[in-house]
Amino acid sequence: MLDGYLGGHPWFMVLLIGTGLFFTIYLGFPQIRYFRHAIRITRGKYDHSHDVGDTSHFQSLATALSGTVGTGNIAGVALAIHLGGPAALFWMLVTAAIGMCTKMVEVSLSHKYRDILPDGSVSGGPMYYMKKKLNIRTKSGKIIRTGAIMGAFFAGATILSSFGTGSLPQINSISNSVFTTFGLKHIITGAILTVLLGLVIIGGIKRIAKVTSVLVPFMALLYLIGSLLVIFSHPGNIIPSFISIFADAFTGSAAAGGFLGASFAFAMNRGVNRGLFSNESGQGSAPIAHSAARAPEPVSEGMVALLEPFIDTICICTLTGLVVLASGAWNTKTDNQFQATDMQIISGIYDDGNSTDVEKLSKHLRGDEFLGLYNGTLAIENGQITTPGISVIHARSLAENIRFFSDRAPYSGELEVLAGKLPKLASMTVRGESLIHSASLTTFAFRRSIMKDFGPYVVTFSLLLFAFSTAISWSYYGDRATTYLFGPKYVIYYRLIFVAGFFIASFTDTTIIWSLSYVAIVLMAVPNLLGILILRKEVKQNVKEYWQTFSKQYPEEKISGKMSKRFGV
């Protein structure tokens, strides 16, 4: 319900996309004009020995990327396509292209107003520019501490989001994937990775930066090779998959196979939402990592940051999208273990091969016109449902060949159904054929390739690296927010709670975890987006001053005529 009013509501899309579009036009398409320059900065071409900070440009980019390249790239893209079809991927890419500019702006401001702590370490993020620049001075000279309030709210939301975005969904996806691939119990996977996480984050940003600067390039290369093997296993589907991403972008994705279709509004909503979860543009998380970078000019670090959405979403998420689409896994039902939160029992017999039934089911799933939910007793004999006149929906598709097991044996008996839900399934396993989503869908797609049964191992290992590195980075975001709110001495308590939550989430229901992440994203993004809009003139002035300073320091560097005229250099 909260997600429906926040991240799932059109107002949030308008704010997010609108802010990015505004700055894209206001600053003259920096994601295009500064792209090459950003790569040179990242390579360290303009570094100075006297620059203040804890990490290099590349280490800050790697740390921020490790925070964004995670389950959103493997599980999140698959979930977006599962919900909204190929059109959702188009809106993920649009969000990323616009988000490149948003990322540059938020990082530039946060780096400019960071704090140097007494021990010489750096603490930064949107909460610092809010506190220092967004207080209101009345005509009488009285200061209303609106900026401090916004900063405190943002910091609190960051701590919540470090669990909802950076910790809980990551280990949840890892443990689910490892269980699917190897059959290893969720709690064992959680215990092992919890110990490793604790060992890394105790060392602070310098150890985190060293680990992520090695992990990120390696895991990106591994995933690239695996994805290309899947895509080229289906050469005839490559071009149609590309076409499907753009063909239905403004009409919504049509029903196909087990997929029941998605309206334009729903596909756009899920694509934008998943796009933000993937690259975090506007959320305000990456500025916390970039604030630690050694950079003489805040704008230069902002330019480094604009590379993130390009690498994270336009490159890696597109790979995952093509894997899911080209393999045909996205609309193919497969045998899987059902999750109670994804199940719904409705009154009436429906057939997804009938266009009239498909339309009714699609409207029901979108929330436009609801079908009748079943209430009563569900009779089961030898694992099979015997109650007549009902249909079961699982993972937004009509489920088939449903079997109930108790202690691995076919179940016989009766179960109470309340408003379409089975509240007492804790000791029971339900299997059947339906669509699947998140990491399981990507794993299924990798299996449908020349790698066959080896494919899931690639996904599992990639997901482990992606998600684990994300949890590492988000622990740093959370401890900087804790430092801002309570002081450095409380960071150790935050880290202990973060590690404990990481372990518990390894065996908690997936759908609940993702819903929490959706809500946490919005609570961070709204104050940050409002803040950068208020400081838009300062951002433009900072960019102008950057180019003026740069032209004096590096007169040998060529600056285009248009940029010279625009910035007076």
CA pair distance 435, 260, nearest whole angstrom = 10
Where on the phi/psi map is residue 322: left (φ > 0), alpha (ψ -120 to 50), or beta?
Answer: alpha
Where on the phi/psi map is residue 395: left (φ > 0), alpha (ψ -120 to 50), or beta?
Answer: left
Mean pLDDT of the chain: 86
CA pair distance 528, 106, nearest whole angstrom = 8
CA pair distance 329, 385, nearest whole angstrom = 27
Instruction: For residue 458, give the nearest of 337, 325, 334, 319 by alpha carbon.
Output: 319
The distance of Cα 120 from the centroid of its chain, to the nearest Å, equals: 32
Considering only 358-367, 495-504, 556-565, which range has the smallest mean pLDDT? 556-565
CA pair distance 202, 206, nearest whole angstrom = 10
- Report pLDDT for 273: 73
Write the DSSP assignment of 147-174 as a string of letters: HHHHHHHHHHHHHHHHHHTTTHHHHHHH
- Dihedral, 280, 308, 113, 283 alpha carbons, nearest 10: -10
Q: Is the pLDDT of residue 568 over 50?
A: no
Stated as kind and residue range, the H or E segment containing 543 is helix 536-553
Q: What is the mean pLDDT of residues 101-130?
A: 89
| pTM over 0.85, yes/no | no
Q: Spell out the domain ranges in the chain.
A: 2-332+448-550, 337-434
Q: Is the pLDDT of residue 2 over 90?
A: no
Measure Cα distances from 362 to 4, 132, 255, 351, 371 in Å: 18, 49, 9, 12, 10
CA pair distance 249, 268, nearest whole angstrom = 8
CA atoms within 13 A on the CB side of 290: 34
Q: What is the mean pLDDT of residues 538-567?
A: 75
Superfamily of 2-332+448-550 according to CATH: Amino acid/polyamine transporter I (1.20.1740.10)
Considering only 79-88, 329-338, 442-451, 547-556, which range has the smallest mean pLDDT? 547-556
Contact between 458 and 446 under an 8 Å Cβ cutoff? The reply is yes
User: What is the per-residue pLDDT across 262-279, written as a single tens digit (0 to 9) for each?
Assistant: 888 888 878 877 777 677
Q: Is the pLDDT of residue 210 over 90?
A: no
Contact between 260 and 361 under an 8 Å Cβ cutoff? The reply is yes
Write down the H helix ranges in 345-397.
355-366
Which residue reads 């290369």 in tokens?
221
User: Tell me, what amino acid is at 486?
Assistant: F
Q: Which residues contact 388 (CB under 8 A, 6 or more apart)?
A: none
Strands (E), 178-269: none
Which residue reads 């709210």 in tokens?
153
Instruction: For residue 513, give the nearest of 6, 164, 8, 74 by alpha carbon.
Output: 164
Q: Is the pLDDT of residue 238 over 80?
A: yes
- Report pLDDT for 402: 95
Which of residues 109 and 165 earns the better pLDDT score? 109
